[in-house]
C-alpha cells in the first residue's frame, strides 16, 4: 500500500479508539498504542525517512495533520473523562431538604434536679455528694434510727454480702467496728458524712439516687431520686425551714403554691413534719393538698453523733423525692416511664 494511503485508516482507527475510551486508563492505553514511542502511528512516521525527496513534503504534511487531529482527540477525551471522574457517583439533588442534626436533651429528672439546685443556690446552698453504697452506721445508726426500726428491715433495704472495712478506721468512736454495707435508702446519710467532715455553719443540698426493695408499680421503683437539705447554724428555727421550703416550692411549682406542715415522726428530727403543698397542679389531680416531703429540726442526738454541741448549734433538714415532683409538675401517672428511655416519652420535655 502506498505510504499516503496508510495514514487515513490508521488515523480513523486511532480516533475511534481514543473517543471510545471508557476511562483514563483505557485512554492512556490507546495513546501508547498509536502515539507512544513504539506506537503504530509513530512507526509510520519513522518510515518518512525512507521516502523519496518528491514524496516527502506531501507525506510529511499529511502525517502532521493526522497527528494534530489525534492529539486534539486525546486532549478532548481526557478532559471529558477527568470531568466524569470528578463528579459524585450519585447525582446531587439540590431540592432535597437539609440533613437535620439530632440534638440531645437532658432527661426530665435531670432537668428537674437542675431546677431544684438552681433555686437553692439562689439562697446560698451548696451541692454535696455521698456514696450510694453506704454502711448501716451512716444510713441509720448515726441518724438515730433504732435497730428495730422497720426501715432497717431487709424488706426495705438492699444489703450487700460484704461487710464494711473502712468505717472502723475512719472514726473509732462514731462508727461501730463492723457496719454492714447497703445501698442507701435515702440521701439523709449524706447529712452525717458532711457534718463529720466540716464544722457549722452548714448549708447543703444533696441530690442523688436511692434504693429500696420495692416492686416496681405506677408509684414505686427500686431506684429513685431524692434531694436532701441540711442547714445548721446558731438560732435556726422552724420559721427558717418553712420560709425556705416555701420559696423553693413556689419556684418549682408556681407562684400561687401554698405549703403546710403536718406533725410527723422521723428519728433524726424533733419536731418532725410532713410537708403538703397545694396549687393548680394538685387541684388538677383532684386534691387540694398533696404530701411532698419530710422535714424537721435536727435531733440533738444526731448532733451528738457527729460531734456538734446541740446547746450551741441548731438546724433543720428535709428530704423529698424528685420523681414525685416531676410527676406532679408534668402530670405523669407512671414512675416507670422515667426509666424506660422511650424517646416518644423523653422528647416531650
Ligand atoms: N429520709 C426521709 C425519707 O427518705 C426524708 C426525710 C425526712 C429527710 C425528714 C429529712 C428529714 O432530712 O428531716 O423518706
pLDDT digits (tens, 9 = 90+) for 141-183: 999 998 887 767 776 899 998 655 554 444 444 555 457 899 9
The residues pairing with 127 across neighbouring beta strands, listed in sequence order, are: 205
Ligand 1 atom at shortest distance from the alpha carbon of 187: 1
Compare 335 and 175 and report the one with higher pLDDT. Answer: 335
pLDDT tens-digit series, residues 245-264: 999 999 999 999 999 999 99
Mean pLDDT, all residues of the chain: 91
Compare 11 and 170 and report the one with higher pLDDT. Answer: 11
HSE, CB side, 13 Å, CA atoms: give it for residue 143: 29
Ligand 1 atom at shortest distance from the alpha carbon of 316: 13
In angstroms, the CA 88 to CA 113 distance is 49
Ligand 1 atom at shortest distance from the alpha carbon of 319: 8
Q: What percent of the chain has pLDDT over 70?
A: 94
Count other C-beta atoms under 10 Å from residue 67's C-beta: 19
Ligand 1 atom at shortest distance from the alpha carbon of 185: 4
Contacts of 297 (CB under 8 A, 6+ apart): 236, 238, 241, 269, 270, 271, 314, 315, 316
Residue nearest to atom 10 of ligand 1 (CA): 318
Report the SS3 class of residue 221. Answer: coil
> What are the cell numbers at 151?
426501715
- Taking alpha carbons only, the member of 180, 139, 7, 23 closest to residue 86 is 23
With residue 282 as reference, give the H or E element that holds it. helix 280-284
Mean predicted confidence (pLDDT) in 127-137 = 96
Say if CB 276 and CB 249 are below 8 A apart.
Answer: no
CA 210 to ligand 1 centroid distance, Å? 12
pLDDT at 125 over 50: yes
pLDDT at 100 over 50: yes
CA 138 to ligand 1 centroid distance, Å? 14
The ligand 1 site (C-beta within 6 Å) comprises: 186, 188, 228, 266, 269, 294-296, 317-319
In angstroms, the CA 156 to CA 169 distance is 28
pLDDT tens-digit series, residues 183-223: 999 999 999 999 999 999 999 999 999 999 999 999 999 99
- pLDDT score, position 266: 94
The residues pairing with 258 across neighbouring beta strands, listed in sequence order, are: 278
Amino acid at each position: 500500500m502506498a505510504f499516503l494511503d496508510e495514514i487515513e485508516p490508521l488515523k480513523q482507527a486511532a480516533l475511534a479508539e481514543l473517543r471510545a475510551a471508557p476511562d483514563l486508563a483505557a485512554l492512556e492505553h490507546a495513546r501508547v498504542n498509536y502515539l507512544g514511542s513504539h506506537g503504530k502511528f509513530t512507526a509510520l512516521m519513522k518510515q518518512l525517512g525512507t521516502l523519496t525527496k518528491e514524496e516527502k513534503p506531501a507525506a510529511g504534511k499529511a502525517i502532521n495533520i493526522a497527528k494534530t487531529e489525534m492529539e486534539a482527540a486525546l486532549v478532548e477525551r481526557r478532559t471529558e473523562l477527568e470531568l466524569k471522574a470528578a463528579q459524585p457517583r450519585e447525582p446531587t439533588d439540590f431540592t432535597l431538604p437539609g440533613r437535620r442534626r439530632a440534638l440531645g436533651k437532658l432527661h426530665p429528672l435531670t432537668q428537674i434536679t437542675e431546677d431544684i439546685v438552681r433555686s437553692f443556690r439562689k439562697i446560698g446552698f451548696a451541692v454535696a455528694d455521698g456514696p450510694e453504697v453506704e454502711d448501716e452506721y451512716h444510713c441509720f445508726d448515726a441518724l438515730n434510727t433504732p435497730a428495730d426500726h422497720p426501715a432497717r428491715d431487709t424488706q426495705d433495704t438492699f444489703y450487700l454480702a460484704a461487710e464494711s472495712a473502712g468505717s472502723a478506721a475512719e472514726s473509732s468512736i462514731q462508727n461501730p467496728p463492723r457496719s454492714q454495707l447497703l445501698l442507701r435508702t435515702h440521701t439523709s446519710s449524706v447529712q452525717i458524712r458532711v457534718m463529720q467532715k466540716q464544722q457549722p455553719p452548714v448549708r447543703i443540698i444533696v441530690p442523688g439516687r436511692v434504693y429500696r426493695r420495692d416492686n416496681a408499680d405506677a408509684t414505686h421503683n427500686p431506684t429513685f431520686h431524692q434531694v436532701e437539705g441540711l442547714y445548721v447554724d446558731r438560732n435556726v428555727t422552724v420559721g427558717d425551714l418553712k420560709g425556705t421550703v416555701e420559696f423553693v416550692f413556689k419556684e418549682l411549682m408556681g407562684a400561687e403554691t401554698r405549703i403546710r406542715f403536718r406533725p410527723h415522726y422521723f428519728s433524726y428530727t424533733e419536731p418532725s413534719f410532713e410537708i403538703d403543698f397545694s396549687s393548680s397542679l394538685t387541684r388538677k389531680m383532684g386534691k387540694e393538698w398533696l404530701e411532698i416531703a419530710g422535714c424537721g429540726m435536727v435531733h440533738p442526738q444526731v448532733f451528738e453523733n457527729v460531734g456538734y454541741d446541740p446547746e450551741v448549734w441548731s438546724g433543720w433538714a428535709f428530704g423529698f423525692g424528685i420523681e414525685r415532683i416531676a410527676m406532679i409538675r408534668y402530670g405523669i401517672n407512671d414512675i416507670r416511664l422515667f426509666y424506660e428511655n422511650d424517646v416518644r416519652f423523653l422528647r416531650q420535655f
